[in-house]
Chains A and B, each alone.
Chain A
Amino acid sequence: MTPYQTWISFYTIVRKDVLRMFRIWAQTFLPSIITSALYFLVFGAFLGSKIGDVQGVSYVMFVVPGLVMLAVVTNAYANTSSVMFASKFFGRNIDEILVSPTPAWVLVGGYVTGGVIRGVLVGVLVLLVSLFFTHLTVNSLFVVVAFLVLTSIVFALAGLVNGVYAKSIDGINIIPTFVLTPLVYLGGVFYSAEALPGFWGTLTKFDPVFYIINGFRYGFLGTSDVPLLVSFGVLAAFALLFFAIAWYLIRTGLGLRQ
């Protein structure tokens, strides 16, 4: 394919996905808005007043970055895993791309771009919702945007890998429920790792999401449990890991050609 034809194919994949996510907005955008509004209400307005300040800011402001990341992670992941799984399992319409001259890396790039668009859009929507509950302070817009986009890329890639390997619908639900959600909740969404006693504090430091949330939080508050560069390093390492897995999938034809 010429570069122009490759671009058309990439654009076709992304356009189709974006139209789909807007058509079913009640399944793609609305759930995160509602759940985060509930979190802000419970933890910010009701519990927050009892808890007081954390790291020098109100408790609701402290949980905002973590709850935004929770939405970004789950949405970027759900988008690629569900789209990939549905197109190979239900309609088998993944064949439409597989019989075409579209290279595998364009397929991966297109699906991941769709996941990133959803992740970033939902992240921005949850931030907008948070404005009803707190004043947002932004320390570094660059750090905020960089973490939004990089985190979306990492989890969109991870979701794609999950979607490719899943053999049944359970296969794309097990990992978000039993791996992703615990990682995010124990990654310091609701508390500073300093507040945890020895063992749990140490355990938290093995959670990659902890570094992502702290880096993102630094973008708002200018404070963090770990240095910003460490957070960036962990995120970059995960991006590289999943790029490597995706590259392996591409080399092997995604394992989708039966």
Chain B
Amino acid sequence: MCRAEISSHSLARMERGRRPSSALWRGFGIDIDRAAERARTTIGLVPQEVNMNPFEKPLDILVNQAGYYGMPRSIAVPRAEQILKDLGLYEKRDKPSSQLSGGMKRRLMIARGIIHEPKLLILDEPTAGVDVELRRSMWDYLQGLTKKDVTILLTTHYLEEAEQLCKHVAIINKGEIVAKGTMEEVLAKHEGTARDGGYRGGRLEEVFLKLTQNPT
């Protein structure tokens, strides 16, 4: 589900609208240096920090975002309404975004990120601070997107969900990728020698700790 071959620094650059490395776009057959505009139409970005106009209504946020991608209202309005229904936000479509709960704001940012039907959806810690029920429904929705050939790249601190959902993984420690590959390859680094007692996470978490902790 997710490909993580990108540094958190690149991610932060993209959130502010700057160019990430050109390597990322080769997979989509786009030369980013020559066709930055076209590259932008192929990605959807969901940042970690909420960046929405607090006075704007969810439906307007989505339709305006579609407009910035050149999509006329006649197409954008029905599409935005459908996405709001899919993400359980339709009832709130006419409330100022500041009145939405934290989880709703996150879902609205996902809706905004996919309104122009990107091929690559980048999510920066989408489930941080999100309750269990919402997290599960969010994953179901995102998995549905991958069935429509959307590639999802995400960063997360919840390694169990990454282990269950992702096909590819990269572990970043202090800005450096310390392990990458398919999930099976990275999990193979797990030796089954987890510490005894106390809290135990999944296998990916053990691999992560082994790779990132300094030997004491």
A contact residues vs B (CB 8 Å cutoff): 1-2, 4-6, 8-9, 11-13, 16, 87, 90-93, 95-103, 253, 256-258
A103 to B71, CA, bound (A): 15
Specify which of A2, A5, A99, A253 lies most central, judged by the most chain B CB atoms within 10 Å of its CB: A99
Contact indicator B15/A96 (Cβ below 8 Å): no
Name 18 A/B residue pairs within 8 A (Cβ), A-sorted.
A4-B70, A9-B69, A9-B70, A13-B67, A91-B51, A92-B51, A95-B16, A95-B51, A96-B61, A96-B64, A96-B65, A99-B43, A100-B40, A101-B36, A101-B68, A256-B16, A257-B16, A257-B18
- Give the Cβ gap from A131 to chain B, nearest Cβ, in Å: 35
Q: Which residues of A contact B69 (CB under 8 A)?
A: 5, 9, 100-102
Specify which of B49, B53, B67, B71 lies most central, judged by the most chain A CB atoms within 10 Å of its CB: B67
A13 to B67, CA, bound (A): 8
Known: A12-B68, A102-B68. 9 other contacts (CB 8 A): A6-B70, A12-B64, A12-B67, A13-B67, A91-B52, A93-B53, A93-B56, A95-B15, A101-B37
Number of interface residues of B (CB under 8 A): 31
A144 to B71, CA, bound (A): 37
Contact indicator B70/A8 (Cβ below 8 Å): yes
- Across the interface, A8 reaches (CB within 8 A) one of B17, B18, B52, B71, namely B71
- Across the interface, A16 reaches (CB within 8 A) one of B47, B64, B72, namely B64
- Across the interface, B17 reaches (CB within 8 A) one of A13, A91, A257, namely A257
- Across the interface, A98 reaches (CB within 8 A) one of B16, B60, B67, namely B16
Q: Which residues of A contact B41 (CB under 8 A)?
A: 101
A6 to B65, CA, bound (A): 13
Contact indicator A100/B68 (Cβ below 8 Å): yes
Q: Which residues of B contact A101 (CB under 8 A)?
A: 36-38, 40-41, 68-70
Q: Mark B98-110, 1 if CB is under 8 A from A, else 0.
A: 0000000000000
A95 to B47, CA, bound (A): 10
A227 to B69, CA, bound (A): 47
Q: Which residues of A contact B15 (CB under 8 A)?
A: 95, 99
Q: Which 9 A-B pairs have the closest CB atoms?
A: A5-B70, A12-B67, A98-B17, A100-B68, A92-B51, A101-B37, A91-B53, A101-B40, A93-B53
A258 to B49, CA, bound (A): 14
Contact indicator A258/B16 (Cβ below 8 Å): yes
Q: Which residues of B contact A98 (CB under 8 A)?
A: 16-17
Q: Which residues of A contact B16 (CB under 8 A)?
A: 95, 98, 256-258
Q: Which residues of B contact A16 (CB under 8 A)?
A: 60, 64
Q: Which residues of B contact A91 (CB under 8 A)?
A: 51-54
- Give the Cβ gap from B153 to chain A, nearest Cβ, in Å: 15
Within 8 A of A (CB), among B29-43: 36-38, 40-41, 43
Chain B residue nearest to A102 (CB atoms) is B68
- Give the Cβ gap from A8 to chain B, nearest Cβ, in Å: 5
Query: Taking the complex as formed, is B84 at the interface, i.e. its CB lies under 8 A from any CB of chain A?
Result: no
Q: Which residues of A contact B71 (CB under 8 A)?
A: 5, 8
A98 to B69, CA, bound (A): 11
- Give the Cβ gap from B197 to chain A, nearest Cβ, in Å: 45
Contact indicator A99/B53 (Cβ below 8 Å): no
Q: Mark B107-141, 1 if CB is under 8 A from A, else 0.
A: 00000100010000000000000000000000000
Q: Which residues of A contact B14 (CB under 8 A)?
A: 99
Query: Taking the complex as formed, is B45 at the interface, i.e. its CB lies under 8 A from any CB of chain A?
Result: yes
A238 to B161, CA, bound (A): 58
Chain B residue nearest to A91 (CB atoms) is B53
Q: Which residues of B contact A97 (CB under 8 A)?
A: 68
Q: Which residues of A contact B37 (CB under 8 A)?
A: 1, 101, 103
Q: Which residues of B contact A92 (CB under 8 A)?
A: 49, 51
Contact indicator B17/A11 (Cβ below 8 Å): no
A257 to B13, CA, bound (A): 8
Q: Which residues of A contact B72 (CB under 8 A)?
A: 8
Q: Which residues of B contact A99 (CB under 8 A)?
A: 14-15, 17, 40, 43, 45
A93 to B56, CA, bound (A): 10
With A100-B40, A257-B16 as given contacts, are A8 and B51 in contact (CB-CB < 8 Å)? no
A97 to B15, CA, bound (A): 11
Contact indicator B40/A90 (Cβ below 8 Å): no
Within 8 A of A (CB), among B1-39: 14-18, 36-38
A9 to B69, CA, bound (A): 7
Chain B residue nearest to A10 (CB atoms) is B67
